[in-house]
Homo-oligomer: A and B are copies of this chain.
Amino acid sequence: MTVEPGAEFALIGAHFAGLGAAREDVLLGVGDDCALLRVPPGQSLAVSLDTLVAGVHFFPDCDPHALGHKTLAVSLSDLAAMGAEPAWATLALTLPASDPAWLAAFAAGLGELARAHGVRLVGGDTTRGPLTITLQLQGLVPPESALRRDGARAGDRIWVSGTLGDAALALAELQAGRDPDAALRARLERPTPRVALGRALRGVASAAIDLSDGLVADLGHVLAASGVGAELQLGALPLGEAVATRADWSLALAGGDDYELCFCAPPGRDGEILALGQRLGCRLTPVGIIRGDGDALRCLLPDGTELNPTRKGYDHFAGA
């Protein structure tokens, strides 16, 4: 229990004051006991908080600009999965020491993505300790059009955005001491949160979740919340070239960190969804169907046989 190096850490705080987009609904930002924010009538507040720990969620020596980007991207992805419009962030940064170059790069990476999504950093806390980053992002969504996990119904089609397994492959390459190519590495280190897609799916999708833990685990949360089962067509999964050549289903099914969206919608919305994907320049692929007869998730191989008979069977992917 030591005294904080006050002046030094106050300086660090100054790095983050005013980061991100200017917003008129910030009545009071960094520099008082609380930030004061105006929530417009008709909107509910959507709140998500995520922690990244050095050595657990990222390599301690990773590029701080990319880390700043990813810190916000992870939370933007949660808001996207809710159909919410991002607005305000707060940042808790625990640092072993003050490193101005590292901080400047981290702040730049976070700030660029914040500005791109209209997000303002309104407060935070900087402390000394093992490198740990917690960001809370707050956004707005009319409560009746929020995309929840519990709305999937039998007969709904299951969709995913982008491609699956890229981040897991990049991580496997890095862990094996190999250098993944830049595009693949960016999928792990600089994920693209699907904010515009989530927004556009209001009133279209019956349920949504973002893919942070892998398709099987995350779709499993939707099934559990909605009380339904599902059938995935593995042959339909959208795979990037590098992942496709590996012929390893676990990359796409259990690989985390893709930060794509998985959502459900009645088949009658197919045309609308495909058009929406084209308008946003975002690949959207139907990968299966929600079933009402039991809560199991069945994964069908291209030859029609089943990869695993019950949801329990996917547990062996968890450590893959």
Binding site for B on A (CB under 8 A): 1-4, 6-7, 27-28, 31-39, 41, 44-59, 78-79, 81-82, 84, 88, 90-92, 94, 122-125, 127-130, 132, 134, 136, 138-139, 141, 143, 146, 148-150, 171, 174-175, 208-210, 213, 217, 225, 318-319
Complex alpha-carbon distance, A127 and B134, angstroms = 11
Q: A33-B79, A34-B47, A37-B44 are in contact. List 4 more A-B contacts (CB 8 A).
A: A1-B175, A49-B123, A55-B129, A92-B92
Assess A90 versus B47: contact at CB under 8 Å? Given A6-B318, A32-B148, A130-B132. yes
Chain B residues lying within 8 Å of A27, measured Cβ to Cβ, are: 44, 143, 146
> Contact check: which of B3, B35, B44, B54 meets A36 at CB < 8 Å?
B44
Could you tell me the distance between the alpha carbons of A41 and B32 in the complex, rounded to whole angstroms? Answer: 23
Identify A6's interface contact among B50, B122, B217, CB under 8 A.
Answer: B217
Q: How far is the CB of A113 from chain B (nearest CB, A)?
A: 18
Q: Which chain B positions have C-beta within 8 A of A91?
A: 49
What are 30 A-B contacts defined by CB distance under 8 Å?
A: A1-B55, A3-B319, A7-B318, A27-B44, A31-B149, A32-B82, A32-B148, A32-B149, A33-B79, A34-B78, A34-B79, A34-B84, A34-B139, A35-B46, A37-B45, A37-B47, A39-B44, A47-B122, A47-B123, A49-B92, A49-B136, A53-B129, A53-B130, A55-B129, A90-B136, A92-B92, A92-B134, A129-B132, A130-B132, A136-B136
A108 to chain B, nearest CB (A): 21
Once bound together, how far apart are the Cα atoms of A210 and B33, in whole Å? 8
Q: Give complex CA distance A134, B123 in Å.
A: 13
Is B90 touching A56 in the complex (CB atoms < 8 A)? no
Closest to A139 in B: B34
Chain B residue with Cβ nearest A148: B32
CA distance A141 to B47 in the complex (A): 18
Taken together as a complex, chains A and B put the C-alpha atoms of A55 and B84 apart, in Å, by 38
Nearest B residue to A81, CB-CB: B33
4 tightest A-B CB contacts, nearest first: A53-B129, A130-B130, A34-B46, A33-B81
* A48 and B31 form a contact (CB under 8 A): no
- Given A27-B143, A31-B225, check contact A51 B134 (CB 8 Å): yes
A311 vs chain B, min Cβ distance (A):
13
Q: Which of B47, B53, B210 makes the CB contact (< 8 A) with A94?
A: B53
Kindly list chain B residues whose C-beta atoms are within 8 Å of the C-beta of A149: 31-33
Residues in B with CB closer than 8 Å to A127 are 51-53, 56-57
A74 to chain B: closest residue by CB: B125
Contact A125 B50 (CB under 8 A): yes
* Interchain CB contact (< 8 A) of A148 among B6, B28, B78, B125: B28
